[in-house]
Every structure is written in structure tokens, then in C-alpha cells.
């Protein structure tokens, strides 16, 4: 299933955008071309085709509305990057064929809404350089060659909601050293690795997501995360101890997910619903399950899987059989 993105992608080749001789400010009454920097509120009036490097850069609190126009690249650079913006908005853009489709680089309270990131060489959407308060809402991310959405180290307070993330070669949604994110109402399907991968990330909330085909994977120091009402099809949860590689600067050794809570929702068609590998003191309650071995526990890295409480509801007991 591809959620109709092929129709949008077929718009490529219909635009008239030109490539700038050099990057320049644009926006307002000044039309934008490939490589330009958007400095004022802008309604894009034509496609920007075959951008050789970056598509567009957005700064300050500028709002870019592509109005359904395509910004296409040749496999390099960022399609649209919000660079240390403060309250900037990017919406209605179809971004195709860049290294990263849409990128928030630092800054705070910036918003990506109603965009499409297609066929990215690395990430469809990236939150980078400790961006805070980002809102990623209602976007479609399809066929990223690495991860669909990557939320990078130090991001705080991101809202990632109502997105469809489909067909990433690796993870559909990856949180790395992230705190205080809310991930709600997303559809994650057809990824090559974990659908949702959470590493060294704590204090995040995941609600009412639909997750298909691949696991929800918590690794390392991922603590105090809350999962409520998520629905998994064909895969379960894996909570796993992890050892970082030794470096000259530090050797944190083995760390494991602790004190995470999984409540409500369902798991259907998984081989194992909940696997704890060296992870301890996690709680599962009132999750409806069907067709799986409910729990498997094992040691990992010298850490035992202890004090995990798992209480589930068989599907036949829920009245939905």
C-alpha cells in the first residue's frame, strides 16, 4: 500500500523552477529558485526541479507554503532545511530525491505540516542540532533509503503526530537520545528494520499509533517512556540492554530500559508480544494480545531481566473474537 503518493510523485517534470546562479534571499515578492534562502513568508508558485544540492533554506520565523509544488533533487543536500529558525513553518511541499527531504537544524518551535518526503537518500525528515519544541504533523514519508524520520541527539519536546511513514529501508521512526517527545496517531508500516526504534531516550510518550510488520525496539538507557493505546500488527515490543563501543572519552558499559509503561492497545500476529533482554522493572497492563507467546525474558550483557510485570487480555476475552 502506498497511500496515493505515486500520484503526487508523478507531478515531477511539470514545473518551471530555475536553478539560482548562486544562493540569494527570496520570499515575499521575490521568487525562489534552487539553493535560495527564504527570509519572508512565501507562497511557492512553481516547481523547483533537479536542484543540484540544497533545495531551499528557511530562516528566522518565515513561513514557506509550497501549495503542492514539487522540490526535486539529485540525491545530495537537504530538500528544505529550517536553519536555526524560531517559529518557522514549512507546509504543502512535495520534496523528492534529496539526501534529507525536510530538516529542522537547531532552533525552536518550528513546524513541518502536510508535506511529502519521497525517495530520500538518507532520511525523509530529520530533527538535528538539538532542536526543541518541533512540531511534525500530517506529513507523508515514503521509501527513505535509511530512516523515515530521524529525531537526533538532544532534541527536546518534539511533537510527531498524524504522520504516515512507509517503506523505509531501515527504521521508520528513530529516536536517539531524545527527551520529552510526544509521538501520537502515526501510521508506521513496511520498514526494513524496527518500525519504531528508541535508543537512550527517556520521558517520551507514545499514544494511539498504528504499527505494522516490524517491532517497537527500546535499547540502552531508554527509561520512563509511556506507551498508551498503540496497535501493533505482526510484531511486538523488544526491550533490550545495549553496550556502547568503548571510546577514549567514555565507556558507559551496558545500559538497559527501565521503568517503561505499556498500557492498553493491542498486539496481533506477533511471534513474541513482549521480549525483555536484560531489561528490568517495566510494566505492561491491559494490552489485548492474540496469536503470540506473551513474554520471553533473558539475560543480556550480565544484566538480568527481572521485576517486569506483564498483564494482558486475550483477544477472545475482549469480546472482539
The pLDDT tens digits of the residues spanning 165-200 come to 999 999 999 999 999 999 999 999 999 999 999 999
CATH 2.160.20.10 fits 42-318, yes or no: yes
- Tell me the CB-side half-sphere exposure of residue 165, using CA atoms within 13 A: 40
For the chain, the domains span: 42-318
- pTM attached to this predicted model: 0.91
Dump pLDDT digits (tens) for 210-262. Answer: 999 999 999 999 999 999 999 999 999 999 999 987 665 566 789 999 999 99
Quickly count: other Cβ atoms within 10 Å of residue 106's Cβ: 17
Q: State how far the Cα of 227 lies from the Cα of 224, in Å rounded to an integer.
A: 10
How open is the CA angle 85-86-87, to the nearest 5 degrees? 110
Q: What is the pLDDT of residue 245?
A: 78
Q: What percent of the chain shows pLDDT beyond 90?
A: 87
Q: State pLDDT tens for residues 36-60.
A: 999 999 999 999 999 999 999 999 9
Q: 5: part of which helix (H) or strand (E)?
A: helix 5-9
Residue 129 has pLDDT above 50, yes or no: yes
- What average pLDDT does the segment 117-123 reach? 98
If you average pLDDT over residues 75-86, what whole number do you get?
97
Count of CA atoms in the C-beta half-sphere (13 A) of 65:
5
Q: Give the number of other Cβ atoms within 10 Å of residue 78's Cβ.
A: 27
Q: Which cell goes with 95?
A: 520534496
Amino acid at each position: 500500500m502506498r497511500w496515493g503518493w505515486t500520484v503526487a510523485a508523478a507531478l515531477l517534470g511539470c514545473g518551471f523552477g530555475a536553478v539560482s546562479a548562486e544562493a540569494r534571499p527570496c520570499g515575499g515578492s521575490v521568487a525562489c529558485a534552487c539553493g535560495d534562502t527564504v527570509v519572508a513568508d512565501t507562497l511557492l508558485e512553481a516547481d523547483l526541479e533537479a536542484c543540484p544540492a540544497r533545495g531551499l533554506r528557511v530562516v528566522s520565523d518565515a513561513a514557506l507554503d509550497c501549495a503542492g509544488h514539487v522540490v526535486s533533487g539529485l540525491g545530495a543536500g537537504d530538500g528544505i532545511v529550517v536553519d536555526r529558525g524560531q517559529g518557522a513553518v514549512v507546509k504543502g511541499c512535495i520534496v523528492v530525491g534529496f539526501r534529507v527531504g525536510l530538516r529542522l537544524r537547531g532552533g525552536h518551535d518550528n513546524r513541518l505540516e502536510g508535506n511529502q518526503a519521497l525517495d530520500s537518500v538518507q532520511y525523509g525528515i530529520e530533527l538535528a542540532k538539538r532542536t526543541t519544541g518541533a512540531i511534525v504533523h500530517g506529513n507523508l514519508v515514503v521509501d527513505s533509503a535509511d530512516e523515515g524520520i530521524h529525531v537526533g541527539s538532544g532534541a527536546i519536546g518534539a511533537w510527531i503526530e498524524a504522520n504516515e511513514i512507509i517503506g523505509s529501508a531501515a527504521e521508520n521512526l528513530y529516536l536517539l537520545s531524545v527527551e520529552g517527545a510526544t509521538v501520537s496517531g502515526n501510521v508506521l508500516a513496511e520498514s526494513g528494520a524496527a518500525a519504531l526504534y528508541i535508543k537512550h531516550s527517556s520521558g517520551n510518550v507514545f499514544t494511539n499509533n498504528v504499527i505494522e510488520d516490524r517491532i517497537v525496539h527500546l535499547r540502552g538507557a531508554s527509561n520512563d517512556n509511556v506507551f498508551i493505546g498503540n496497535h501493533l500488527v505482526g510484531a511486538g515490543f523488544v526491550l533490550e540492554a545495549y553496550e556502547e563501543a568503548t571510546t577514549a572519552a567514555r565507556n558507559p558499559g551496558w545500559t538497559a530500559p527501565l521503568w517503561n509503561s505499556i498500557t492498553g492497545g493491542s498486539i496481533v500476529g506477533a511471534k513474541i508480544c513482549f521480549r525483555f533482554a536484560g531489561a528490568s522493572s517495566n510494566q505492561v497492563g491491559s494490552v489485548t494480545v492474540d496469536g503470540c507467546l506473551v513474554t520471553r525474558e533473558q539475560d543480556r550483557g550480565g544484566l538480568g531481566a527481572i521485576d517486569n510485570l506483564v498483564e494482558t487480555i486475550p483477544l477472545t476475552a475482549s469480546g472482539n473474537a
